[in-house]
Amino acid sequence: MEQLKLIARIADQQIAISADLVESVVEIEAITPVPLAAAHIAGLAALRSRVLTIIDTYAALELGRSPRDGQLQAIVVTIDHHLYGLLVDEVVDVAAFAGEPEPLHAGLSRGWAHAAMGIVEHEGQALLQLDPARIVAGPMAVAA
């Protein structure tokens, strides 16, 4: 069964996210910070009349902090009736993938391991497929 997946780049890694879950890809201009919130909550941004909670994917994957310069791209997903924007370095492509993600048994850092659903292959290149819900939950969930 073929499945559409969105391919994006985060910290020089190409990752895939199931396109079913993605509402849109938006350019983020201004982010309203949310003081006291967890590190992976970058802040709030407006998507027309709706408020997006922007997720710092670098922080969620325990890779530091997402770059915040210039135009930012975010993948918009809805999780539990809340709208989130996952910051990515670049959205690369949307492609059809065959087959389910395969488990990957070793070698991932804790942050990646937490968010990864497995390995998918695209044009001979192995990509990590990430679960947006786990990115949104952030690194705290690992500790819990």
* Binding stretches for other proteins (CB under 8 A): 30, 32-38, 40-41, 44-46, 48-53, 80, 82, 84, 136, 138
Complex with other proteins: residue 61 or 120, whichever CB lies closer:
61
Give CA–CA dist 40/86, Å, rounded.
Answer: 10
Q: Residue 42 CB, nearest distance to other proteins (Å)?
A: 11
Name which of 49 and 71 has its Cβ closer to other proteins. 49
Closer residue to other proteins (CB): 101 or 132? 132
State in angstroms the smallest separation of the CB of 54 from other proteins: 10
Distance CA 16, CA 1 (A): 17
- Dihedral of the alpha carbons of 136, 23, 124, 57, in degrees to the nearest 10: -20
Give the tokens for residue 42.
Answer: 């970058």
SS3 breakdown of the chain: % helix, strand, coil, rounded to 5? 15, 50, 35
| CB of 85 or CB of 101, closer to other proteins | 85
